[in-house]
Each structure stands twice: as C-alpha cells, then as structure tokens.
Structure 1
Amino acid sequence: MAGKEEDKKQKKSKSAAVCGYPISIFFIVVNEFCERFSYYGMRAVLVLYFKYFLKWDDDFATTIYHTFVALCYLTPILGAIVADSWLGKFKTIVYLSIVYTLGQAVMAVSAVSEITDTNGDGAADNMTVHIALSMVGLILIALGTGGIKPCVAAFGGDQFEDHQEKQRSTFFSIFYLSINAGSLLSTLITPILRAQKCGKSSDSCYPLAFGVPAALMLVALVVFIVGSKMYIKVPPQGNIMVKVCKCIGFAIKNRYRHRSSRFPKREHWMDWAEEGYDKLLIAQVKMVLKVLFLYIPLPMFWALFDQQGSRWTLQATTMTGDFGLLTIQPDQMQTVNPILILLLVPIMDSAIYPLIAKCKLNFTPLKRMTVGMLLAALAFVAAGLVQIEIDKTLPDFPSSSQSQAKFINMLDKPLQATAGENDLTIQPFKASEGYLTFENDLDLITPEANFSFALNSSSRYTVVIFPDGVSKDALQFPDINKKPEQGNNEIRFLSGYSSLLSITVGSLSFGNVTSNNMSEYRSVPQGEAKFVIKDDSGNECTYDLTLGFGSSYTLIIPSTFTFGPTCKDSINAELDISPNSMHMAWQIPQYFLMTAGEVVFSVTGLEFSYSQAPSNMKSVLQAGWLLTVAVGNIIVLIIAEAAKLPEQWAEYILFASLLVLVCIIFAIMAVFYTYTDPAKIEAQFTDMEPEDKEKRKSVEMAKKDRRNSDSSDDDEEKRTQTRM
C-alpha cells in the first residue's frame, strides 16, 4: 500500500514543474492545436474538393459534407465509452490518433491526380479510385477526431491535483484558445495551399491542402506520445453513460412488466427503476433527462450553423474576393467566424450581458439560447437576400428547350447578317453584342452565303464567319454554359493569323492554334494575366489582360495581326460571361449574425448544461450536446434532398423559416422549465442521518424481497401463457 502511495506521489511530482503547472499540459495543448489545425484545415477545402476535383454537383457535395460532419459528432459517444470502460483516456487518444493520421494521409493520396489507372479503363475508373480513397479517408478521420474529442480535454484536467483548481481553470482557457487558434490559422492557410498549382493539369493543389493537415496530425500524435512518461493516467472506472442507459432501460422494462393495475402508479416513470438502482442515481438520471428533453429542438440551429462550410462557401465562389491589397479565396471567408468569436465573446461577457442585467431584465440562459436561434435564422435571411442579388448578376443561360448563339465577324469589313428573326451588324474582328436565344435550329443569312446549324438544347455556341475562299461554311464552336468554377476565368483564342501560333500564360499552354480556328478553354486565375504569343519564326507578342472572378473571354487575333511593339493593340477581348460583381464583403453581415447567434446559443447552452447536470454526469450531457450537432447535419441532408428547390435563395429562406418555427417551440418549452440545483438534490440522498440511512436500507431490502416475489409471479404468468 505504501508503495502505491509512493508511486502516486512520484507520478504527480513528474508533472508539476513550471510556474505551478504540470509540464504535461503543454504537450496536450500543442497536441490540441495541431489536431484542430488538421481537422479544420481539411474541412475548409472539403466541399470545394467534392465539387471541383470529384466533379460532384452542389447538392451531392453538400450531402456528403454534412454526412461527414454528422459522423464526426456521433463518434464521441463511442470514444467516451471505450476510454472510460476499457482502454483509458491515454491509450484511446493514441490509438484513435493513429487512425486519424492514416485518414488524413489517405485523403492527401486520394487527391493526387496522377493515381495510376491499373485497370486501363480510363478516367472513369480513375475517378472511382479517388472517390473510394476519399470515403475511406473521411470515415477514418470521423472515427479519429470524434473518438478523441471527449478524451483530450478531460485528460488535461486529470493532470492537476485537487489544490490546483485555479491552474486547472487557466488550462481550460488556454486549451480552448488553442482550438480557436488552430481553427483560425488552418482556415487561412489551407485555402492558400489549395490555390497553388501542382501536377500537370490541375489548377488547384488539393494534395498539398490535405497533406499539410495530415503532417500536423502526425506532429500532434508524436508530441502527445513524447509526453507519455509525464502524464497522470487515470485507469478506466466504468462509463457513466452505459450505467445511465442501463438504468433507463431497467425502468422501461420494469414499467412494462408491471403494467397491470395491481401495481400503484409512481410519480415519475424513472421511479420504476427503484427495484434495481439507488435513489441517488435515479434522481441524477431524472435531472439529465429533463435537460435532454430541452435538447430536442436544438439540432435545427446546427443545421443552419454548419452550412457555413458548405452552402455559404459555394455561394462565395460566385462572388469577387478582391479586397484591394488582399485577395480572399472563397473557402477563406470561413475565417470570419473564428475572428468574430474572439471579438464577440469578451464583448458579450463584459458589456452586453452586464448592460442587460443593469436594465433589470431577466435574461435567463434559455432566453439567451432562444435569441441565438433567432439570430441564426436572420443570418440565413441575409444569405437569401445576398443570393437574390447574386442571381441578378448571373448570365441568362438557355433553358432545357432553348439554345443560344453569338456571332464573330472575321472579315475586314462590317457584316450585315440575319440570324433567325434577328438582323445584325457586326464590326470587323468583333463579336455581336450578347447571345441570341433560339428555340430551333439556326439559319444564318449573309450577303455571301446562307448557313444552317443544328443547335443542341441548353447549349451555347459561337458562330464565326470567315472570309470567302477560306471556308465554304461558317464554323460553330461550343461555349461554356455555366459560370467558371472557383472564381477562375475561362479564356480561349480565335486566330485569323495566317500561320501557326503558340500561346501561353505563365506555365499554362493553349497549345498550337491554327489559322481560322479556336483554341480550347483554359482556366486562368484572377489578376494580371500576361499572354505570350509566338509564331514559328520566333516572333513574340505579349498581351496583358486584367481578370476578375468568374468571367469568360474569347480573345480574337485578326488576320491583320503583325508582330511588333503595337501587336497587342490589334487583339480584341470579347467578353462572353461577365465577371462576378457581388463582393464577398456582402457575406460579412450573415457571418456576423450567425457568429453572434453561436456565441449566445452555444456558449450559453454549454454553461446551462453544466449547471443543470449532476456532478458525475457532465459527460452524459456533453455527449447529448454533441449529438444535437450530428442530428443537425442529418437534417441538412434530409431537407436538401427532399426540398429540391430550383432557387438557392428559396432554400435559405426555408431553413430560416424552419428555425423560427423550432425557436417558438423551444421558447414554449423553456417557459415550463424549472431550474434546479443538482447539488441540493444530491445532498438529499448523501447527507441523510444514520437512522434515515438504516430506514432506507430496510426499505431497499423490502423492495428486494418484493422484486423476488414479483419475479416468481411473472414466472408463473409465463408458464400459464405457455400452457395456453
């Protein structure tokens, strides 16, 4: 016994070294920073990876994104049970961190575009490999990040002795600061990594964007293991969640067994567990169930909140991120949330709440949570209004029964033409203004000749009229019929030059463009683009074009083009799709409302849950709280798949309306909720006089005898039913 006490003292002395704080907590804080960097960094670019690398549409990308987030918040229950019942917190963190690191590595490998096509079946099988690896990686990550979530903070708290309450409180502040720091930095950095060019044909570097988080997760694992000998490792002592579930199950089963009228009714249905469980535990379970009942409407808040990483990021891809000295990527707009959290939390605590208290308003926790839900609904109304304005700036693309065409005159004189019922006058080496819409095939009448073109529905075309003797027919070229992706610009060249031209911009090549022909589209990022045009003789011309976000151009090189100092002046840039004109700054109000709602709702909700939970069941309510996040993401899947609204703004308003409805229900539930003091209730069972305890013991013995008698009666009843 003395040896054990000595070992205990030795363990504690190892971890108490710097300014009264255990050295071990520094390993835990660094581990948490790296892990949160890894998770949020990967998640920041995830929906764009689905859309632009795996080529999924917006709805399916959103569905898989929220499925992944839901899994991340379902697995903490599994992690808590494993840690408390079998492995202990330390081993659980280590083993699941290994799984986590493997998942991040698999995600990085899945994004490598040069994965070998072993079947020889081409791109389709190649993409199947990418998708399969991505799904395996995400499952491993969800298991890892969710499994360690309930363990790391609690493991950090285990490092302190009872007299270090102040240091423990400071540790948790530093711990949560490391979470926000990791989230903020990763959300800033990984979109920059994604925007780099890597590989032969990719205009985004997802292997790098996933690889750096994988490396940070490996660092987190190594740092955590390095501190192993310094940790105080509390052995598993049984999981309270399992005990609570068994108690509830026993009460339900016992109530069902004794459903006949000869058994008197009890004040609460949990009282039916008295035959098998202690009254203190039953009272604690009652308090937990009372709070969990209030949790029922809460998932709707998270259904809106987590769309910041999916729908709102996709919305940002249709906007411009030019802030002057700084250019923001669509996925970097998510950094507004952690920045505002760091600003709003102290403002709320030191200014807003004290001001409300001075006004003598009873702003209870449940009222705060109600306000938070309303703010989130307003955020989605703001997002809907922004989407309406974005839709006004989008091109009018052809419907399923229509096609569109525009015309380019490569003659050295103005061209009079009739396209369907439209009369056109097109200047030399210029395009007609805007696209014309056609219900059927196109008949083009010019002074030189008449042409007929078959146009596919929902498609856009450019029809080019060349000089006599060059082509007997005008040529039609397919155009893109959607906004360029990721805010890039789709550029192509039309050459009337008499010989072959080689055209590049940076490391991107348009190939060799032949005379009287059109190049393929190439995606060029925002900013100053320098196009280098060369011929077979080595002559060179540089053409500069300032590009915004999401535009499309056809650059016309006329037959009169000559190399020289003024060569660029003869090149005409025809705008096919206008650049994004709505600025990403318009998303800031919706982010502000959502973050304000999060601060009022989430922080208050956690405090409320902690204050209303029994002393030994804080983890049960924490698991319940995380479960509401998972259910919220499942709600997104259901609504996104069921609603199928044609307009995105309508979906935003639908979510806002549903949250307002749920908010009303929650407000009514809050009115009937009675705040309790768990310590006082627990004291009723723990501070009894000796004679009360003796009496209680006698009562329990009597109940045991009655239970045995009831069991005999039940057995007799079963035998009777069998005979019948």
Structure 2
Amino acid sequence: MASLVDEEKILLDSQELSPTPVSFFKSGRVRVILCILFCELCERLTYYSIIGNLIIFCTNELGYSSATAAVIVAAFSGTSYFVPIFGGWIADSFAGKYNTIYGSLLIYFVGAVTLPLISIHYEDLGEGDAGLTVSQKQGFFMFGLMLIAIGTGGIKSNVGPFGAQQMEDLGPGAVQTFFNWFYWFINVGSGIAYSAVVYVQQEVGFDVGFTIPAVSILLSLIILALSRSKYLMKPPEGSVLTKVVKITYDGARKCTHPDPGEEDLDSCLDRTKVSKGGQYQDQEVDDVKSLGRVIPVFIPIIIYWTIYIQMSSTYVLQGMRMRLDYGGFTIPVAALNLFNVIIILILIPIMDQFVYPCFERHGLRLSMLKRIGIGMVFASGSMVVAAIVEICRKNVMRDGGYILQTIAGDTYNSSDVSVFAQIPQYTLIGASEVFTSITGLEFAYSQSPDSMQGVVMGLFLMTTGLGSYLGSLLVVIVNAASSDTWLPDEINNGYLEYFYFLLAGMMLLDFAVFLVIARHYKYVKVTGRPASVDEASDSMPPLEVDYSYHSETEALLPKSVQREKSKVENDYSFS
C-alpha cells in the first residue's frame, strides 16, 4: 500500500503530463499546419478514389475476371501497407521526412496520371487506332498501381509525425490537437472519395473519375511546397530498424557459430550485449528483445485484415448484383463504405465517454487485448451477415426477382434485393475497427519501449499488408480447389457465400488462438493517468495508456506516461 505522499506525487506528475490541448490556430503556425493537413486530405482523397471502384475498373475496362480483380485489389492494398516501414527507414536514415514525403508524392503523381490516360477511349475521339490494346492497358495499369502503392506508403509513415514535429515544442497537448484535426481531414478526404468521386467514375466515366484523384495528388504536391521555407526540419538521425536488423543478424550468427567456452544464455540476442562480449549496449539489445513479446499478438490480427479488405473487393462484387437504381438515381456501389466511416465516427466517442467508463465503474475493465478480441468477433459476424445476404440475393433471383442494370457502361443481371441490405456487414466491419484496429495501434504504441515505437508501429501496419496478401492467396487457392465454382467471373453462378463462411470460420479459429496468446501475455507496467493512483494499491492492476487512434492516422501521439521496466501478471487476459 502506497503512502499518501506517494499518491499525491502520482497525481501531481500526471497533471503535469496531461496539459490542456493547444489549438494550432493560436500557435502562430496556422499556414504550416494547414498545408500539411490539406496535403493529407488530398492524398487520402486520391487513394480512396482509386481503390473505391478499382474492382469495377478491373472487370469492366480491363477485362479481368471477378476473382482476378479481387486478387489485384487485395495485392494493391497489401503493398500500400507494406511499404510504410521502408518509407520510415528512408526518412530516418538519410532523406528526412519532408524530402521523403515530397519524393513519394512525385512518384504517386506519375502513377495517378497513368490511370486516366489508359481509361480514355481514344477511338471515340476519332483517333482511329490510337487507343491501347487491352494487354497494353493492363501493363500500364500494373505499373501505375505499383507507383501509387510506393507513393502512398512513403507518405503514410511520415506525414503524421512530420506534422507533429511542427507542434511538439508547444507540448503534448498541441500535438494531440494536431492529430485530432489530422483524423478529421482524413475522413473528409475519404468522405468525398466515397460519395462524389465514385459516383463520377460509375456514372460519367473512369477517364474523368480518375482525373479527379490525379489532380488531387497534384494539389497535394503544390500545397506541401507552399510552406517549404516555414517547416521545422530535423536532420535524419539514423534508423532504429537498421540497428534492429544488425542486432538480430549478429545474434543469429553468434548462436549458429558460438565462441568456444561462451556461457549459455537465455537468448541468442544476449550474446550481442557489451556485458557479454558483444558490440551493442545492453539496453539496445533488451529493447530489440521486447519485440518478441508483441509480435505474437500481431500475428492473429493478420486474418482480421483479410476480412477487412473484402469491403473493397468481394463486397463490391456483391453490391454490383443488387438493386442500385432508385427513382432514376444510381447509387455508387463503393458509397456503401460511408457506413463504415459513419459507424466509426459514432462509436468512438460513445465507447470512449460512456461504455468504457461504465465497465470500469463496475470493475469490468475492457483491456486492450479484450477489445482486440471483441473486434475479431465483430469481423467474423460481418462475414456471416454477408453470406446470408448473398444467399437471400440469389434466392430472390431464382424466384424471378431480378433486374438488368448498367454500371460503368456494362450491364449486369442483378437481384431485386436493395444494396442497402449490405449496410449491416459494412457497419460490423466499422465496429470491429473501433475495437481491433484502433486498439491494436494503441497496444503497439503503449507496449513498446520508446526506442522501438516506430519499428513496432511499422510491424503493426505490415499486418495489414500481410492480411491483404493472404486475401489474394485465398482467392487463388479457393478457386483452384473448387474449379472456379466459388468465385467464377459471374458470381451469380458461384458460391460467394461459401467464401464468406470460410473467412468467418478462419476468423473464429484465429480468435481461439488469440485467446491463448492473450492469456499468457504480460502487460508493460505504466503509470501517468490520474486514475493510476489505484495502481499503487494491491487491489487493482495498473491502468493502460488511454489513447484514441484510427487505422488511417498511422501516427504516434506523444506518450504522457512514465514507463517502468517491471512487468505485472496478466490480470486482463480472456478468462
């Protein structure tokens, strides 16, 4: 039991570490911050405008089968989330954040311009044989997507921290204010993309629809450069990732070729410590070893992202075969993603202000791992709902309830079931994000040593990429095993519901594995919030850091906690 003096000290320390947020409007850096925020808005608008109807473009304009189109979308998304860790390495090692962002935008722009150029029907302009063949379009398309994935990856890992860098001398509260606005601008960009831009692509044409994101990324370039001389720049200080790789490699080498007479150690990495005759500081090695605690938690999350990518692939294929026309207005298929965004915006304040505090008051605190697990269950539920919708959709068609509707120039035989029947499956994915995605970022941030935060966050983002790649692989395997009967080119003749049930089952099995990992996980002991005074008693476990994240911020809020080396037993595991 701590003394009253100790309790007062904890309270005073936590008050000093929780400053009142400072508005950047009053900081004298409005122009600088707005340039970064609008740069991010335009970049996100571009990305979501491209991926929103990408599967329709692949099938209608480039002649890919439905299954191949789903593989392409998942692979593109996976690469976009795999590149950030390398973008961060480039910025930290030699280029700096601004140069990396600007260079990535240039690459991004070249890729974005490629798409409208291959979307133009030159023969309709009276240019005769000036148009590209389908195979040529496919080649330029892949080239453009590769550049876009590289560009967005380089931006994703640097733009948030670069913006925070402009405010960090004003204190953690100012940085927190920046990230609140950063998140808001992200959602404005995605909202425009999933409403106006996808409608233009579907109803006007992809040539015009892809010109909008190309112009948007050009604006992002111009806006970022406007305050070039005003930004607070920091020279590269070297990448932690490089040191992690070197320590890991050196440890593996020393294990496979141990020196004669060397003492037995618990970990191969210990052999790289200065105290054990190695060349790296003991603390550096211990920090690298800490990755072994968090990586097992990340592995089950990979399958979660396999389900998440269905919103941009198979959900769109399903929606194209459902009623979209109402009173002469055709709803863009990709616009259903707005319900994902809406539920996130609704749930975050509800969970943060009401649900989580209510659980705590009743002694049922929802720990980080519990929240991640709850999100997995929601994701599995989304797959079950999608499968039921697919069964109902095809049953209605068999009973004569079908219509012909034109989407982006192609006519589809569609069910008379409204596309709004997809709302529950989109909202369940959105709800799962609030628990698994946002809390996963919180876990990655709060459970890693200070020196490893960038690496751990990069590894967490890589789970998104790996999950998307797994989604691509699953489509290939499933179609090979079923002789293309599950996901044929015309899904009306297939069994998409089987694919959804498979994903639901995989998620539940993955959840069971996650339960075992969570039960054995030991949290890093942290203090710093006023309520953490209870941690000094024997009656309650330490509180976790309470931050709000979104899957698109990819950025770190300043840590307002004091981290201790000791660990505590896992009082929050699933039990």
User: What TM bracket, shorter-length normalisation?
Assistant: 0.7 to 0.9
Match for residue 624 of structure 1?
459
1:178 matches 2:185: yes
How many residues get paired?
491
Q: Quick check: 2:203–2:407 contact (8 Å CA) kept in 1?
A: no
Match for residue 256 of structure 1?
256
1:122: Cα distance to partner?
Answer: 10
Q: Quick check: 1:51–1:57 contact (8 Å CA) kept in 2?
A: yes
User: How has the CA–CA distance of structure 1 residues 110 and 169 changed in structure 2, closer, same or farther, with 3 Å as cutoff?
Assistant: same
Match for residue 318 of structure 1?
321
1:596 matches 2:428: no
Match for residue 169 of structure 1?
176
Matching of residues 188-587 of structure 1 within 5 Å: 188-197=195-204, 205-258=205-258, 262-274=261-273, 275-322=278-325, 327-395=330-398, 486=406, 550=412, 580-587=415-422
Q: Quick check: 2:167–2:175 contact (8 Å CA) kept in 1?
A: yes
Q: Quick check: 1:377–1:660 contact (8 Å CA) kept in 2?
A: yes
Matching of residues 66-81 of structure 1 within 5 Å: 66-81=74-89
Q: Deviations over 1:566-622 (max 9, x none)?
A: xxxxxxxxxxxxx63111121111112111111110111111111111112211011
User: How has the CA–CA distance of structure 1 residues 29 and 593 changed in structure 2, closer, same or farther, with 3 Å as cutoff?
Assistant: same
User: How has the CA–CA distance of structure 1 residues 369 and 102 changed in structure 2, closer, same or farther, with 3 Å as cutoff?
Assistant: same
1:483: Cα distance to partner?
Answer: 7.9
Q: Deviations over 1:346-365 (max 9, x none)?
A: 11111221222223114211
1:326: Cα distance to partner?
Answer: 6.3
Q: Quick check: 1:45–1:190 contact (8 Å CA) kept in 2?
A: no
1:113 matches 2:121: yes
AA of the residue aligned to 1:241: L
Q: Quick check: 1:317–1:486 contact (8 Å CA) kept in 2?
A: no
Q: Is the partner of 2:162 in helix, strand or coil?
A: helix
Match for residue 142 of structure 1?
149
Q: Deviations over 1:453-493 (max 9, x none)?
A: xxxxxxxxxxxxxxxxxxxxxxxxxxxxx9856558xxxxx
AA of the residue aligned to 1:231: Y
1:322: Cα distance to partner?
Answer: 4.5
1:393: Cα distance to partner?
Answer: 2.4
Match for residue 497 of structure 2?
649
Q: Identify unmatched segments of 5+ residues in structure 2.
A: 1-22, 486-494, 527-561, 568-575
1:613 matches 2:461: no
Q: Is the partner of 1:593 in helix, strand or coil?
A: helix
Q: Which has the larger radius of gyration?
A: 1
User: How has the CA–CA distance of structure 1 residues 188 and 361 changed in structure 2, closer, same or farther, with 3 Å as cutoff?
Assistant: same
AA of the residue aligned to 1:345: I
AA of the residue aligned to 2:181: I
User: How has the CA–CA distance of structure 1 residues 112 and 251 changed in structure 2, closer, same or farther, with 3 Å as cutoff?
Assistant: same
Q: Deviations over 1:534-589 (max 9, x none)?
A: xxxxxxxxxxxxxxxx56xxxxxxxxxxxxxxxxxxxxxxxxxxx63111121111
Matches of 1:70 and 1:181 in 2, distance apart?
Answer: 23
Matches of 2:100 and 2:107 in 1, distance apart?
Answer: 11
Q: Is the partner of 1:230 in helix, strand or coil?
A: coil
1:327: Cα distance to partner?
Answer: 4.4
Matches of 1:322 and 1:121 in 2, distance apart?
Answer: 35
Q: Quick check: 2:397–2:416 contact (8 Å CA) kept in 1?
A: no
Counterpart selection for 1:675 from 523, 540, 553: 523
Q: Is the partner of 1:235 in helix, strand or coil?
A: coil
Counterpart selection for 1:56 from 51, 54, 64: 64
CA RMSD of aligned residues (A): 2.7
Matches of 1:183 and 1:234 in 2, distance apart?
Answer: 30
User: How has the CA–CA distance of structure 1 residues 194 and 229 changed in structure 2, closer, same or farther, with 3 Å as cutoff?
Assistant: same
Match for residue 19 of structure 1?
26
AA of the residue aligned to 2:440: G
1:163: Cα distance to partner?
Answer: 3.7
1:116: Cα distance to partner?
Answer: 10
Q: Is the partner of 2:300 in helix, strand or coil?
A: coil
Q: Is the partner of 2:451 in helix, strand or coil?
A: coil
1:34 matches 2:53: no
Matches of 2:403 and 2:270 in 1, distance apart?
Answer: 62
AA of the residue aligned to 2:307: L
Q: Quick check: 1:38–1:216 contact (8 Å CA) kept in 2?
A: yes
What is the percentage of aligned positions where both structures have the same residue?
29
1:89 matches 2:88: no
Q: How does the TM-score come out when normalised to structure 1?
A: 0.64
User: How has the CA–CA distance of structure 1 residues 116 and 195 changed in structure 2, closer, same or farther, with 3 Å as cutoff?
Assistant: closer
Q: Which has the higher helix share?
A: 2
User: How has the CA–CA distance of structure 1 residues 353 and 326 changed in structure 2, closer, same or farther, with 3 Å as cutoff?
Assistant: farther
Matches of 1:179 and 1:259 in 2, distance apart?
Answer: 53
1:196: Cα distance to partner?
Answer: 3.2
Q: Which has the higher strand share?
A: 1
1:323: Cα distance to partner?
Answer: 5.6
Q: Quick check: 1:321–1:327 contact (8 Å CA) kept in 2?
A: yes
User: How has the CA–CA distance of structure 1 residues 308 and 335 changed in structure 2, closer, same or farther, with 3 Å as cutoff?
Assistant: same
User: How has the CA–CA distance of structure 1 residues 54 and 161 changed in structure 2, closer, same or farther, with 3 Å as cutoff?
Assistant: closer
AA of the residue aligned to 1:154: P
Q: Quick check: 1:319–1:487 contact (8 Å CA) kept in 2?
A: no
Q: Quick check: 1:284–1:682 contact (8 Å CA) kept in 2?
A: no
Q: Is the partner of 1:162 in helix, strand or coil?
A: helix
AA of the residue aligned to 1:182: G
AA of the residue aligned to 1:624: L
AA of the residue aligned to 1:304: I
Q: Quick check: 2:60–2:410 contact (8 Å CA) kept in 1?
A: no
User: How has the CA–CA distance of structure 1 residues 162 and 298 changed in structure 2, closer, same or farther, with 3 Å as cutoff?
Assistant: same
1:681: Cα distance to partner?
Answer: 4.8
Greater relative contact order (Cα 8 A, min sep 6): structure 1 or 2?
A: 2
Matches of 1:277 and 1:681 in 2, distance apart?
Answer: 22
Q: Identify unmatched segments of 5+ residues in structure 1.
A: 1-15, 198-204, 397-433, 435-481, 489-521, 525-549, 552-578, 685-724
Matches of 1:354 and 1:321 in 2, distance apart?
Answer: 41
Match for residue 460 of structure 1?
none
Q: Quick check: 2:525–2:566 contact (8 Å CA) kept in 1?
A: no
1:161: Cα distance to partner?
Answer: 4.2
Matches of 2:129 and 2:325 in 1, distance apart?
Answer: 42
Q: Is the partner of 1:28 in helix, strand or coil?
A: helix
Matches of 1:79 and 1:364 in 2, distance apart?
Answer: 32
1:54: Cα distance to partner?
Answer: 0.9
User: How has the CA–CA distance of structure 1 residues 635 and 263 changed in structure 2, closer, same or farther, with 3 Å as cutoff?
Assistant: same
Matches of 2:430 and 2:448 in 1, distance apart?
Answer: 26
Q: Quick check: 1:250–1:273 contact (8 Å CA) kept in 2?
A: yes
Q: Quick check: 1:382–1:589 contact (8 Å CA) kept in 2?
A: yes
AA of the residue aligned to 1:234: K
Q: Is the partner of 1:677 in helix, strand or coil?
A: strand
